C-alpha cells in the first residue's frame, strides 16, 4: 500500500521565489515541502551575479521588511556595493550589490536545510492533483505523490525550456541544469493559459585573459546600509568591477553574423525582454549608436569567471569569439562559457488574484518568473507574498493584499494580475506612481507591521520598528524648534553659502535649504545627537520633501475612494448595458476586486468605469473600507 506523506504546504521550485515562499510557510508554522530539479540549483544565480539595482533594490528592502531572506543572504555574500542614482532624490536611490554566487547559493541552501518545519526533496513535479474539483497535492515524475493543503508553483524558467547558441539547441534549463518537461501539460489541464517567453545570459570570460588596464575601474562605495535588519556588520567591498565599450568593428561583426542568430532566423518563438535586450538586438534597434557599454563583474572569489553584463547574445560560438576579441581590453579573452538565449513556458498572470492565488483553484499559488517576470528580485518579492498568503489561507486568516501605495511589491503584483504582461516584466521606479513614499529607507515603516501580523517578522525586528517610529516622532518635535538669528547660526549659514536670516526660523525650514542637511546641521548644533543615522535620514527627508510627500498623500487619499468600492465576484459583465465589448471581455476575465483595480485594466475606459459605478450604486453593492 502506498504511503502518502502529507504537508501543509508544498513549494515547487527552489529558485528565488521558491526559497522565499518555502521559508515564509515554514517560519509561520506550516509543515512545508520544497521540491527542486537539482539541489545545486537552490538559490542559484544563473545570470547576473548581483542583487538589487534600480527599483530592484527597493524590492529587496521590502522583502526584508516583510521577514524575507534575500537581503540577509546578499549582505553575507557581498563582493561589491554601489548606491545607484545617489546624486538624485531619495525616492530613486537603489542599492546594488555584486555577490559571490557560489557563496550565495551555499548560504541559501544551508538556510533552507536548517529551517525547522521545512523538508527538501530533489524531484521533478509532473502533475498538480485535484480531487472533486479541489486541490489535493502533487505527483513527481517517479510517480510519488504528496498531499497538501496549499501548493505554490515557483518553476522559474525551467518549464519546457531550451537554450540556444546559434544553431546549437539544447533542451535544458539555465546553466545546463535539467528542465521540467511534464508540468506544463498539467497546468493547461487546470485551465491556465500558457505563454512562451525568452531571456538570455552573456558569456563568462577567464579574468586572467582580460587586460583590465584598458578598462575603466568601478570601485565599490563604503558606508552604505545593508539590505537586511538582521545584518549586524555593514558589508565591505572586496572586489572591483570594470566598464568598457563596444566599437564600430564590434557592430560590423555582429551585423555580418545576424544571419546565424536564432532570433533573426525565426527559430526563437518566445517574446524577449524589452529592457534587457541582447547585443544583437541593441545593434539593430539602436543603429545610430557607435558604441554600447558593458560591465565586467566577478562571479565569485573561488573562480576566475567574469560575467560580461550588457553582452547577452544567442549568436553562435565563432561569432561571439569574433566580436568579443574586437573590444579594447578583451583582445585575448578566453570564453569559459558561451552566451545563450533561453525559451520557457510561463502563465498568463491575469489568471491570478492579487494574493497570487489561481482564480479557479483555491490553495494553488504562483510566484516568480513562471508569472512572466524577469529578475531574481521580482521573483523573490512574489515568493514571499505567495508564501505569506498560502500560510494565511491554510490558517484561515485574512489574506495580505499590498496596494500600489503600500509597496513596490504591490505595484508589481497589481500590474501582473490587472494588466498582465506580453513580455518578461521588469520592475522600474517609473512604474510606481507614489515612489516618493515607497523609498528603500522606509520599507520597514511601510511593511514590517504587516509581516509581524502575518507571524513572519520576528518580535525583535518589530520592536526595532517601534523604537525607530518613536524616535522619529520625538525628532519631529525638534524640527519645530525655533532658532534665533544669533551670530553662531549666521556664521553657519555663511559657511554653507546660504543667506543670513533676520528673524527666527524653525529647524525644519532651515533644513529645506539646498546646502544644509540634518547631518551638517547636527555636527554644529548637536540637537539630534540622541538619534542614530537611520532616524536622522528619515527626519532629513521629512523636512526637505514634506510638501511633495503631502501632495502624494493627497493623491492616495483621492484614489482610496475607489479602492474602497469593492466589486463582488461573479458579476456577468457581458450583461451590463453600455459597456464596450472590450471592457466587458477584460472585466469578465480579470474580475477586479475594487473599482480602482477595474480602472487600471488595459482597455477599460473612464466611460466604462462611470457605467460600472452607476451599476454598483443602483444595486447597492458599494462595499465597506477595504482595509488590509
pLDDT in tens, 438-463: 999 999 999 999 999 999 999 999 99
Residues forming beta bridges with residue 297, ordered by sequence position: 307
Specify whether the backbone of 396 is left (phi greater than 0), alpha (psi in -120 to 50) or beta: left
Q: State the number of CA atoms in the 13 A half-sphere of 12 facing the CB.
A: 33
What integer pLDDT is reported at residue 378 of this predicted model?
98
**Does 624 have pLDDT greater than 60?**
no
pLDDT bracket for residue 626 (50, 70, 90): very low
End-to-end CA gap in the chain: 46
Question: How far does Cα 194 stand from its chain's mean position?
Answer: 22
Q: Using alpha carbons only, give the angle 369, 46, 31 rounded to the nearest 5 degrees.
A: 60
Taken in order of first residue, the domains within the chain and their CATH numbers are 204-343 (2.40.30.260), 475-553 (1.10.10.1800), 564-618 (1.10.150.570)
The sign of the dihedral angle between the CA atoms of 521, 527, 531, 536 is negative
pLDDT bracket for residue 560 (50, 70, 90): confident
**Residue of higher predicted confidence among 49 and 272:** 49
Query: What Rg do the C-alpha atoms of the chain give, in angstroms?
Result: 26
**Does 1 have pLDDT greater than 70?**
no
| Per-residue cell: 62 | 521590502
What integer pLDDT is reported at residue 577 of this predicted model?
86
Q: Residue 76 CB: number of other CB atoms within 10 A? A: 21
Helix-strand-coil split of the chain, %, nearest 5: 40, 20, 40
| Per-residue cell: 572 | 456577468
Mean pLDDT of 333-341: 97
pLDDT bracket for residue 22 (50, 70, 90): very high
Q: Which helix (H) or strand (E) holds 309?
A: strand 305-309
8 A C-beta contact, residue 392 and residue 437: no
Residue 211's φ and ψ, nearest 5 degrees, are -90, 90
Q: Which helix (H) or strand (E) holds 384?
A: helix 376-394
Measured between alpha carbons, how far is 314 from 117 in angstroms, rounded to an integer?
A: 42
**Does 622 have pLDDT greater than 50?**
no
| Per-residue cell: 10 | 508544498
pLDDT bracket for residue 109 (50, 70, 90): very high
Measured between alpha carbons, how far is 429 from 510 in angstroms, rounded to an integer?
A: 29
What integer pLDDT is reported at residue 561 of this predicted model?
83
**Does 108 have pLDDT greater than 90?**
yes
**3-state DSSP call for residue 216?**
strand
8 A C-beta contact, residue 382 and residue 17: yes
| Closest C-alpha among 270, 312, 308, 258 to residue 162 | 270
The model's pLDDT over 387-406, given as tens digits with 9 standing for 90+, comes to 999 999 999 999 999 999 99
Q: Using alpha carbons only, give the angle 171, 175, 181 rounded to the nearest 5 degrees.
A: 30
Residues forming beta bridges with residue 483, ordered by sequence position: 505
Please provide the DSSP assignment of 556-570 as one string: HHHHHHHHTSB--TT
Residue 413 CB contacts under 8 Å (≥ 6 apart), including other chains:
354, 356, 382, 385, 402
Work out whether strand 194-201 and strand 204-206 pair parallel, antiparallel, or are unpaired: unpaired
Specify whether the backbone of 368 is left (phi greater than 0), alpha (psi in -120 to 50) or beta: left
**3-state DSSP call for residue 205?**
strand
Q: Using alpha carbons only, give the angle 402, 96, 287 rounded to the nearest 5 degrees.
A: 100
| Per-residue cell: 252 | 560590423
| CB-based burial label for 28 (10 Å; 0-12, 13-18, 19+) | buried
The model's pTM is: 0.94
pLDDT, the chain, mean? 94
Residue 357 CB contacts under 8 Å (≥ 6 apart), including other chains:
363, 364, 365, 389, 390, 393, 399
CA torsion angle for 501, 504, 509, 511 (degrees, to 10)? 70
Residue 2 CB contacts under 8 Å (≥ 6 apart), including other chains:
145
What integer pLDDT is reported at residue 628 of this predicted model?
40
Residue 558 CB contacts under 8 Å (≥ 6 apart), including other chains:
none
Residue 491 CB contacts under 8 Å (≥ 6 apart), including other chains:
none
Mean pLDDT of 194-218: 96
Residue 343's φ and ψ, nearest 5 degrees, are -105, 150
What integer pLDDT is reported at residue 263 of this predicted model?
77
Q: Where are the beta strands (DSSP E) in 492-554?
A: 505-506
| Per-residue cell: 529 | 545627537
pLDDT bracket for residue 620 (50, 70, 90): low
Measured between alpha carbons, how far is 424 from 146 in angstroms, rounded to an integer?
A: 32
| Closest C-alpha among 445, 440, 406 to residue 95 | 440
| Closest C-alpha among 437, 431, 397, 430 to residue 414 | 431
| Closest C-alpha among 294, 305, 289 to residue 214 | 294
**Does 623 have pLDDT greater than 70?**
no
8 A C-beta contact, residue 537 and residue 522: no
Task: Give the residue ranges of DSSP H helices in 270-316.
Answer: 279-285
Please provide the DSSP assignment of 124-168 as one string: -EEEEEEETTEEEEEEETTS-EEEEEEEEE--TT-BT-EEEETTE
DSSP 415: I
**Does 275 have pLDDT greater than 80?**
no
What integer pLDDT is reported at residue 153 of this predicted model?
98
Amino acid at each position: 500500500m502506498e504511503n502518502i506523506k502529507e504537508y501543509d504546504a508544498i513549494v515547487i521550485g527552489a529558485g528565488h521565489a521558491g526559497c522565499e515562499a518555502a521559508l515564509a510557510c515554514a517560519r509561520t508554522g506550516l509543515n512545508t515541502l520544497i521540491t527542486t530539479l537539482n539541489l545545486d540549483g537552490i538559490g542559484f544565480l544563473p545570470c547576473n551575479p548581483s542583487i538589487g539595482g534600480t527599483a530592484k533594490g527597493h524590492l529587496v528592502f521590502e522583502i526584508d521588511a516583510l521577514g524575507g531572506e534575500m537581503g540577509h543572504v546578499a549582505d553575507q555574500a557581498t563582493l561589491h556595493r554601489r548606491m545607484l542614482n545617489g546624486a538624485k532624490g531619495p525616492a530613486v536611490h537603489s542599492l546594488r550589490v555584486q555577490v559571490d554566487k557560489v557563496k550565495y547559493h551555499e548560504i541559501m541552501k544551508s538556510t533552507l536545510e536548517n529551517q525547522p518545519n521545512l523538508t527538501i526533496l530533489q524531484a521533478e513535479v509532473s502533475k498538480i492533483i485535484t480531487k472533486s474539483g479541489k486541490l489535493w497535492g502533487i505527483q513527481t515524475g517517479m510517480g510519488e505523490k504528496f498531499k497538501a493543503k496549499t501548493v505554490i508553483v515557483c518553476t522559474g524558467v525551467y518549464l519546457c525550456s531550451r537554450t540556444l547558441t546559434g544553431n546549437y539547441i539544447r533542451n535544458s534549463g539555465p546553466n545546463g541544469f535539467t528542465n521540467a518537461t511534464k508540468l506544463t501539460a498539467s497546468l493547461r489541464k487546470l485551465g491556465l493559459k500558457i505563454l512562451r517567453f525568452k531571456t538570455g545570459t552573456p558569456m563568462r570570460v577567464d579574468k586572467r585573459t582580460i587586460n583590465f588596464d584598458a578598462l575603466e575601474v568601478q570601485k565599490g562605495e563604503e558606508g552604505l546600509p545593508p539590505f537586511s535588519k538582521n545584518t549586524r556588520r555593514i558589508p565591505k567591498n572586496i572586489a572591483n568591477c570594470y566598464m568598457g565599450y563596444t566599437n564600430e568593428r564590434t557592430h560590423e561583426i555582429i551585423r555580418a553574423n545576424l544571419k546565424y542568430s536564432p532570433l533573426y532566423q525565426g527559430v526563437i518563438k518566445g517574446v524577449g525582454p524589452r529592457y534587457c535586450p541582447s547585443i544583437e538586438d541593441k545593434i539593430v534597434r539602436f543603429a545610430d549608436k557607435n558604441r554600447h557599454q558593458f560591465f565586467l563583474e566577478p562571479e565569485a572569489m573561488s573562480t576566475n569567471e567574469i560575467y560580461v553584463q550588457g553582452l547577452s547574445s544567442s549568436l553562435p560560438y565563432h561569432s561571439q569569439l569574433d566580436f568579443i576579441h574586437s573590444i579594447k581590453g578583451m583582445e585575448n579573452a578566453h570564453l569559459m562559457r558561451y552566451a545563450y538565449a533561453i525559451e520557457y513556458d510561463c502563465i498568463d498572470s491575469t489568471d491570478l488574484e492579487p494574493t497570487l492565488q489561481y482564480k479557479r483553484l483555491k490553495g494553488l499559488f504562483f510566484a516568480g518568473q513562471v508569472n512572466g517576470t524577469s529578475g531574481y528580485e521580482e521573483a523573490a518579492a512574489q515568493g514571499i507574498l505567495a508564501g505569506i498568503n498560502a500560510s494565511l489561507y491554510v490558517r484561515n486568516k485574512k489574506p495580505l493584499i499590498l496596494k500600489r501605495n503600500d509597496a513596490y511589491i504591490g505595484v508589481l503584483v497589481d500590474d501582473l494580475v490587472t494588466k498582465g504582461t506580453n513580455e518578461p516584466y521588469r520592475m522600474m521606479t517609473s512604474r510606481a506612481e507614489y515612489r516618493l513614499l515607497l523609498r528603500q529607507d522606509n520599507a520597514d515603516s511601510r511593511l514590517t507591521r504587516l509581516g509581524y501580523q502575518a507571524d513572519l517578522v520576528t518580535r525583535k525586528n518589530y520592536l526595532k520598528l517601534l523604537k525607530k517610529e518613536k524616535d522619529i516622532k520625538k525628532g519631529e518635535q525638534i524640527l519645530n524648534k525655533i532658532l534665533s538669528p544669533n551670530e553662531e547660526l549666521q556664521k553657519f549659514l555663511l559657511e554653507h553659502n546660504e543667506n543670513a536670516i533676520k528673524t527666527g526660523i524653525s529647524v525644519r525650514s532651515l533644513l529645506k535649504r539646498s546646502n544644509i542637511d540634518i547631518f551638517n546641521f547636527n555636527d554644529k548644533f548637536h540637537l539630534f545627537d540622541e538619534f542614530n543615522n537611520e532616524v536622522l535620514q528619515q527626519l532629513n527627508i521629512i523636512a526637505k520633501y514634506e510638501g511633495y510627500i503631502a501632495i502624494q498623500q493627497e493623491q492616495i487619499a483621492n484614489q482610496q475612494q475607489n479602492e474602497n468600492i469593492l466589486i463582488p465576484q461573479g458579476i456577468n459583465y457581458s450583461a451590463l448595458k453600455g459597456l464596450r465589448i472590450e471592457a466587458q471581455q477584460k472585466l469578465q476575465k480579470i474580475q477586479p476586486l475594487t473599482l480602482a483595480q477595474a480602472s487600471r485594466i488595459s482597455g477599460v475606459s473612464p466611460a466604462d468605469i462611470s457605467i460600472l459605478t452607476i451599476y454598483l450604486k443602483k444595486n447597492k453593492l458599494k462595499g465597506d473600507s477595504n482595509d488590509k
